[in-house]
Each structure stands twice: as C-alpha cells, then as structure tokens.
Structure 1
Amino acid sequence: MDWKIFQLIVLYIGYLGLSVESQCLENNDTHKCKLGTKTPYRLIANLNDSLINYPGCIEKKIWLLVRHGTRFPGKKYVPIMMSKLPHLQELILSSYVANRSRLMPDHISQIAKWKLNFAEDAVMKLAEEGEREMIDLAERFQSRFPTLFPEKYSNLTYKFKYTATQRTEESAKHFALGLFGLQGSKDVWFPEPEYRDPILRFYKRCQRWRKEVDKNPKAYEEEQKFIQSSVVSDTLKDISSFLGFQVDYEAANLMYTICAFETAWYSNSESAWCNVFQPKHFKVLEFAEDLKYYWIDGYGYPLTYEQACPALRDMFNFFQSKEDANVTAYFTHSGTILKLLSLIRVAKDIEPLKHDSYTLHEDRRVWRVSMIDAFASNLAFVLYDCKSKNPAILVMHQERIVHLPGCPKNMPCPLSIMKNLYPDNEEECQFDTMCGLDGNV
C-alpha cells in the first residue's frame, strides 16, 4: 500500500474514532453525505449515547462549542432562489417535453410539483430540523455524561452563551430544552450576546484576517481555478447532457444548494433538485466547497487558525478555574468551528487541498466540510481527574472521540501535554498583535 494512502487511512480512523453509527459513515456513497456545510446533522450524528468511562478517571467539567442547527438560507441566496429556480424548473420541464432530457419520469413529476417552501422573513432563522438537532444533541451528551449534565438547571452549574443571531439563540434554547424539559428550560439564564464576541466570533474582530484572507481575492484562487478546470467543465457538460440544456456553474451550484437545504429541512422526503445530479457530480461540487473553506476557514493560511487561540484559552481557563460550573456550552457558527478544528489539527490532510489535487483527494481526503462542519457540528473538551495522569482532557468532535497528534491514544490527554501542544495563556495567544489591533499590521 502507498505510504501516503496508509497515513491518510490512519488519520481518518483516528479522526472518526470507532463509532460507525451514522448513515454517512456506513454509506458514504450517497449524495446526502456530500452536501457541504448544509449537510443535516442527523446523517453524521453518533447515536451511541452510552456512558463514556475511563478506569481511574472521573469527569469534572465539559467545554462545548456547537454550531447552530439547520437554518434557512441567507439574504444573499433568497432572491436568487426565488428568481432563478423557477426559471431552471421551466427549462428542465421544457427539455423533457422536447425529449432532450435523460431524467426519469418520476423525477420530472417531482420537479413539476416543486415550489420554494419557506417565507422570506425566515432568512437565516433556525428551521424545525435545527430545533430537533439541538434537543437530540443535548439528550445524547446528557446520557454520556450524566454527572456533568444534571437534569435540574442551576446557573452555578451551567454557563450558556450564544452570538447575537436568532439561529444561535434558538439553538441554545432548544439545547436547554433537551437537557431540562419544557418547564425546566424556562429557568435558564443566558447573558446578553455580544455583536463581535471575542470567544464565539473572534474572526469578526481580527482586522488583519478580514483584510488579508476573508476579503482577499487571492484566498479564493484555488476554488476559482478549480471551477475553471477541465474537471468542472466536463462535469457541467455531463449535467447539461443529462438535463438537455446548457448549465453553467452558477446554475449547477444553485441547484446543489437547494438540494442541500431541502435535504436538511425535510427528513422524510427527497428534494426534487437532488435528482438533477448523478453521484459523480456531487463529488465535484462538494470538492469546490471544500476548497473554499480550506483556504478561508481552515489550513490555507496560518493566521486563519492561529486567531482561534482565544477560544482555546477560554477552555483552558475554565478547566483551571475554581468556579462551581461544570458545563460551558457555547453556540456559534461554521467559521468558529473550522478555525478551532484547524488550530488543534483535526481533519488535516498530508497534502494541502489545491485546484489540481481533485484526483488525489477525491475519495480519501479528511477535510470534508460535509463531515466536519455540517449543521449542528460540535467540538467538546472534557476534563478528567485521573489518578495516574492527574488532570486530563478528552476531545470529541461530532460526538466522537478524537486522538490529537502528540497525545496518548485510548485515554484522555494529560493537561500538561495539552498545554504544551496548544496556546493556553496570553503570552502564547497574542490576538491583538496577530490581528493588527495594536497598530502593528
């Protein structure tokens, strides 16, 4: 076996742990597992909620970071969906009538019946599926760590916080509903959210990152070069032949996006738009999205993940504080999750993702936002008091145990090792300096 392939397999197994309960781990070939950041959490969730025990260790605290649940589209997409999807619908139906399409009759019937089914004022708001994701997630964590998550709420035990958005606020409240029930969740206290929260949305405060990465066209070059590549060009020709009319990348991506959203919103029905693609098309569209997030929110630029150190430092401070709280639960966004994952080196491929590496990475990359950054994605750090190793930390991503580089396997990582591996104090996490907030850009 090629050594690099072997290393990738080891990384993949280490990242996923031993759990194979999710649909996408059992059957990764389905298009539902290739929907990027719009993938519904139910497809990747670890449904094994049995107690997590380590001999000689007692769990003491948990620091939990959760991306909001399934939401409705943002204001950038809604007008485009409302104007362009009905036009594409007409083209698909006309092409079928003219006998130019290779779509199946039942798929055409679904397209013919389709209507955009959400209110314009629902923009960016949490969907019903997102509410369920939060309730279920809370219940599973409570089952795994019952001593950390008592069923009766106390503001001395629990610390909740969300960003200044409806989708994270509602996510936090439904997570509380899963922990305490309808009546008990009414007693939960949430602090006033900050617009640019220094822990939950640190990147909104990092002027240098916003200028040099987020707003820099160069940071999007790999994605754009891939979109202009022969791989994408051949894919668009194939989709055009399949549908019977010319399809450009913008149209293909729009249909891919509504397929993803509707798959997330409706657990009991199929999106009509998913049928306009074949399995190989989903692979290409997913890779384009992975490239974007790799270079904007992931490993592409060191500043991108180094700026996540305030969140990691907050975790270390919480674990070393003498306060009574044993749960910190933060509700945030995709950008926070991906940057922090990159800082702790989770889902890191041996070779960087580039526009010309599709063949290399097609079926064996670990940076797949469909798996690592679905709706309701989460990252948990659990503090243990162990007789042999003293304080130690267990890391979980998507409710699965993660073995971090430099840490022992099959057990929590000693706090001393974690502190050596990652920035845990102000001297090692000089956010203002790296982000140009002290005047030194």
Structure 2
Amino acid sequence: MAAMTRTSAAPAVVALCLWLWLLARGAAAARSSCYADNTTPYLLLGAKTAYEFVYGRPTPQQTTIPYCEPQQIWILSRHGTRYPGSDDYDKLNSLASFRDQVIRNHEVNHEGDLCDKDLDNLRNWTLKFTADMGDVLTKQGEDDMRLMAQRFKNRYPSLFSEGYRQDLYEFRYTNTQRTQASAEKFAEGLFGSSQGVYFPTPLDNDTLLKPYDTCNAWKTMVDDNPDAKIEQTLFEEGPWMEEVIANVSKRLGFRYQLKYDDISTIYDMCRYDKAWNLVAVSPWCAAFSDSELQVMEYKEDLKYYYKSGYGHDINVELGCTTLKDLMDHFQNLESNKTSAKGVFYFSHSSMLHMMQSRMGIAKDSEPLTHDGYNTTQKRKWRTSKIGSFATNIAAVFLKCTEGDTYRVMFYVAENVADIEGCQVGLCSWDTVKAKYADIAEKCNLDFCNMNRSGTTGIHRLPWFYALINAIIVILLLKRN
C-alpha cells in the first residue's frame, strides 16, 4: 500500500515541479524586456524634455528664401537645461532609499518586473546635484544655448558677418542664474566669446520677460487658485493615472499601490537624468512603459495649458508684452528707424507659452480636458515640443525684391511655425500686421491690478458654476 501511495504521488510531484518551473520561466520572461536595451525610448517628457530631441533640423528650402535678405532676427528663448530647484532636492534625494527597496523587492521578495540590467542601472544610480545647485544651468544647458546660436548663425550668416557691436545686438535676461548663463553661452555661440558683450542689469520686476510675476490678477485667478488647476487634478486622480500607478507599483515590486507623488518624483528623475546626459540610459525611466510615459506627458500638457496657455484668458493677455516688442522692432525696421540685426531675450517656459497663446500657435480646436486623453493624441499643444528646455520663438524680418517687399519667417524650437495665413512659417508682413498690430497697440498690464475674480477667473469650467449653484440651492433649502 505504501509503495502504491509513493507511486501515485509521483505524478503530482512532477506536475508541481513543472508548474514551479513554468512560473519561474514566466517571471524570467517578464523581466527579459529591458529598458536598458531599448534603442528607441520615448523621449517626449514634457517641460523637462531635452532640447536636442525636439529642435528642428533645417532643410535648404527653409534656410534660403529666394529674393529675400534677412534684416533682423528676434528670439525669445527659455533657458537651457537646468538642475531642479533646491526645494525639490529632498524628494529626489529620497529616491536613494526608495531605490534600495526596489532592489530588495526583486532580490529578496522576488517581486517586480525589472530586468537585471535595469536593476544594475538603478543600483549604480546617484543623484548628480546638491541642494546648493538648485535651478543652476547644467553643462548640457550650456551646450543647448551655444549650439542653438551657432545653428541660427549658420542659417542667417549675413546677420552676423560684422561681428559683435553693441548697437547691432540687444541681449536681455531675467534675474536668474539660468537665464543669465543661457544668454552668455548663446552670445558665445554667436561671437566666439561673451567677453565684451553688453548685458543690461536684469530687473527685479521685468514686465517684458516675466509680466506674470507682478500680475496680482494672474496670481489670484491662476497661480494661487486650486480651481484653475482642476483639469490637471482630475486627470491625476482619474483612471488613466490609476492604471499608471498600479503598473509602476507592480513593476517595481510593491505589493501595495504607490502614491501619485511617488510616481511624479520617479518621473521627474527619469527626465532630469535624460536631459542632463543625452546618450546615457536614465535608470528611473525603466519604471514606465512608453504608453505610461505618454500619460505622464498629457498630465504635463494639462498643467501648462491652464497655468500659462489657452486654458485661461488672462494667460493669453499676458503674452502681449513680448509680441508687442517684436512688432515694435519690426515696425521700426519698416520705417528705417533702427539698424539692430539681432534681439535676444532669455526667460522661462511660462513666458514662452503665453506668447505662443497670444500668437495662436499650437492652438487646438477644442480645449484640453481631463477626460480628453483618448481624443487628443494628435494635439497641437504638446509641452514637449513647444516648452522643452531651451525652446524658443524666433522671427526673422526679411526684405525682398520680388513679391511682398517685407516678409517674416517664424520658428518654434527651430521648426517652422504653423501660423494661420502663412506658408510653412513664412508670412507677408501685411499678414503679420493684420494679425498682431492691433494686439500690440492695445497691450498694457493695467488689468493686473484689477479685481477680476468671478469674470474670467475660471475659464471654460461650467461644471464649477453648476457646483456653486447646487451648494447655494442646498443652503437655501436648509434655511427653509
């Protein structure tokens, strides 16, 4: 009887061993796909995208415009790649202990789906900045600006043939190290050195390059207003982000759901690492699939759409200051009142987005919303492409011997800009004046000190008003 029991148990033991072997093989297969081996990783990482991955490579047709000679180039640029702010240091530095837990999850608890190469990359990862380096331009950021300047110089060599003279080139930057260093490296790319280049002392309250900083109405209605960020908040709490959190938690070996803030910190480190070192693998990006990175990118697009883009009318209005400056310079050229060949401003992503919105650049037919992710895969408002590190708006004023006497060529991040009424970024000066002259003429910031709450403070949020009305009805019923 005992022999029969041992014999009958043998198939069960074999089956159990086979099941365990298949389980182990399945786990190994799950970890066989390595981010470290991905030769085409997803690189559109919102406002912290490396400029190298998005700037436009010119074609001969875009470089030479028949019968036209450039008279002036006007550029508004975001600073180059920077280090995180000092207030972000603690949360990014905490990833060292978090990383150790991820490795324990895999090696001790046998949980998680990262392959050995990705685990090794995490194991060797260190935070490459200290708290005192907050917001400072990185080495890559210096290269961003120097190389960009060289490309513009190669596109329009006649504008720089005389070398630097103070009366020919205007520079201006905001009161930050990252914009100052960006301006200096840009000048170095144009003239070989920034020595001798005149940079005006930056203003504490620069109403040209940072009008939002001193605009009380914008701070009240947008920057300090949680309701103005509701679309971003709803997306962060919605099903798409829930799925990302669940997948990342499982991939990193956690038996519980990580918090959104944890996912956001991992995402920030993923894209900072990649922006600092273009050719190296960013270890923290292994936490995400490509589709999950696209969800994170949409969250970023919602953030800037409502913070500094089309989401609120006041954002658009604030974009008139730099547009007016551009129009003033070009109108002076038309009237032969100036001989400047280059105007170069260095600011921040909010200013870029506000000017883009004032110009109608990257405007979608419908506003971006928290529940519109499925229908906006071809959206124009894509922060990775219109607000990366070093993104810029450039306009070149041209004098022509055939056709329109004056024309303007527009670029965004060195890609020809899609502007209604123009052909592949090239506009007649008459078209530009028809579109923007009235905006420039009426531009002022008087509204910044007005109490505008309740008028356009919550733009395109009808549900908000419905909620307020419902609360009022409930209160009235309780009183009765």
TM-score (norm 2): 0.81
Among the aligned pairs, what percent are the same residue? 34
Q: Deviations over 1:180-235 (max 9, x none)?
A: 113xx211010011122111111112221111111111111001101111111122
Q: Counterpart amino acid of 2:449?
A: G
Q: Deviations over 1:161-181 (max 9, x none)?
A: 111100000000000111111
Deviates more, 1:60-69 or 1:389-398: 389-398
Q: Please tell me whether residue 334 in structure 1 is matched to residue 349 in structure 2.
A: yes
Q: Among residues 201, 206, 209, which one is paired with 1:197 in the alignment? A: 206
Q: Among residues 333, 357, 363, which one is paired with 2:372 in the alignment? A: 357
* Shift, 1:348, TM fit: 1.3
Describe how 1:167-186 pairs up with structure 2 within 5 A: 167-182=178-193, 185-186=194-195
The 2-side partners of 1:28 and 1:350 are apart by 35
Describe how 1:7-26 pairs up with structure 2 within 5 A: none
Relative to 1, partners in 2 of residues 1:244 and 1:411: Cα closer, same or farther, differing over 3 Å? closer
* Shift, 1:289, TM fit: 1.0
Q: Please tell me whether residue 45 in structure 1 is matched to residue 55 in structure 2.
A: yes
* Shift, 1:150, TM fit: 3.0
Q: Counterpart amino acid of 1:41?
A: Y
Which residue matches 2:294?
283
Contact 2:407 2:428 in 1 (8 A): yes
Q: Please tell me whether residue 415 in structure 1 is matched to residue 429 in structure 2.
A: yes
The 2-side partners of 1:339 and 1:150 are apart by 33
Q: Among residues 243, 263, 268, which one is paired with 1:234 in the alignment? A: 243
The 1-side partners of 2:163 and 2:269 are apart by 40
Q: Counterpart amino acid of 1:368?
A: R
The 2-side partners of 1:149 and 1:425 are apart by 31
Describe how 1:63-74 pairs up with structure 2 within 5 A: 63-74=74-85
Q: Among residues 50, 67, 74, which one is paired with 1:56 in the alignment? A: 67
* Shift, 1:425, TM fit: 6.3
Contact 1:151 1:180 in 2 (8 A): no
* Shift, 1:307, TM fit: 1.4
Contact 2:235 2:241 in 1 (8 A): yes
The 1-side partners of 2:39 and 2:331 are apart by 40
The 2-side partners of 1:373 and 1:411 are apart by 18
Which residue matches 1:403?
418
| Equivalenced residues, count | 407
Relative to 1, partners in 2 of residues 1:174 and 1:102: Cα closer, same or farther, differing over 3 Å? same
Which residue matches 1:14?
none
The 2-side partners of 1:329 and 1:228 are apart by 41
Q: Among residues 128, 132, 145, which one is paired with 1:117 in the alignment? A: 128
Unaligned runs of 5+ in 2: 1-37, 454-480
Q: Among residues 325, 328, 331, which one is paired with 2:340 in the alignment? A: 325
Describe how 1:76-95 pairs up with structure 2 within 5 A: 76-82=87-93, 84-95=94-105
Bigger CA radius of gyration: 2
Contact 1:47 1:140 in 2 (8 A): no
* Shift, 1:403, TM fit: 3.2
Which residue matches 2:477?
none
Q: Please tell me whether residue 348 in structure 1 is matched to residue 363 in structure 2.
A: yes
Q: Please tell me whether residue 106 in structure 1 is matched to residue 102 in structure 2.
A: no
Q: Counterpart amino acid of 1:61?
A: Q
Q: Please tell me whether residue 293 in structure 1 is matched to residue 304 in structure 2.
A: yes
Which residue matches 2:388?
374
* Shift, 1:422, TM fit: 1.8
Relative to 1, partners in 2 of residues 1:410 and 1:120: Cα closer, same or farther, differing over 3 Å? closer
Which residue matches 2:472?
none
SS at match of 1:72: coil
The 2-side partners of 1:151 and 1:114 are apart by 47
Contact 2:410 2:425 in 1 (8 A): no
Higher relative contact order (CA 8 A, sep 6+): 1
Deviates more, 1:87-96 or 1:370-379: 87-96
Unaligned runs of 5+ in 1: 1-26
Which residue matches 1:304?
315
Which residue matches 2:405?
390
SS at match of 2:338: coil
The structure in which a higher percent of residues are helix is 2
Q: Counterpart amino acid of 2:378?
A: R
* Shift, 1:320, TM fit: 2.0
SS at match of 2:159: coil
Which residue matches 1:225?
234
Contact 1:148 1:326 in 2 (8 A): yes
Contact 1:69 1:126 in 2 (8 A): yes
Q: Among residues 214, 217, 238, which one is paired with 1:208 in the alignment? A: 217
The 1-side partners of 2:387 and 2:126 are apart by 28
Q: Please tell me whether residue 430 in structure 1 is matched to residue 444 in structure 2.
A: yes
Contact 2:270 2:282 in 1 (8 A): yes
SS at match of 1:353: coil
SS at match of 1:114: coil
Contact 2:51 2:391 in 1 (8 A): yes
Q: Among residues 188, 191, 196, which one is paired with 2:197 in the alignment? A: 188
Deviates more, 1:146-155 or 1:35-44: 146-155
Q: Among residues 126, 129, 142, which one is paired with 2:153 in the alignment? A: 142
The 2-side partners of 1:381 and 1:371 are apart by 18
Contact 1:309 1:431 in 2 (8 A): no
The 1-side partners of 2:426 and 2:43 are apart by 33
The 2-side partners of 1:28 and 1:226 are apart by 30
Q: Deviations over 1:220-265 (max 9, x none)?
A: 1001101111111122111112112132211111000001001010
Which residue matches 1:20?
none
Q: Counterpart amino acid of 2:448?
A: C
Relative to 1, partners in 2 of residues 1:328 and 1:424: Cα closer, same or farther, differing over 3 Å? farther
Relative to 1, partners in 2 of residues 1:109 and 1:419: Cα closer, same or farther, differing over 3 Å? same
SS at match of 2:120: helix
SS at match of 1:331: strand
* Shift, 1:345, TM fit: 1.2
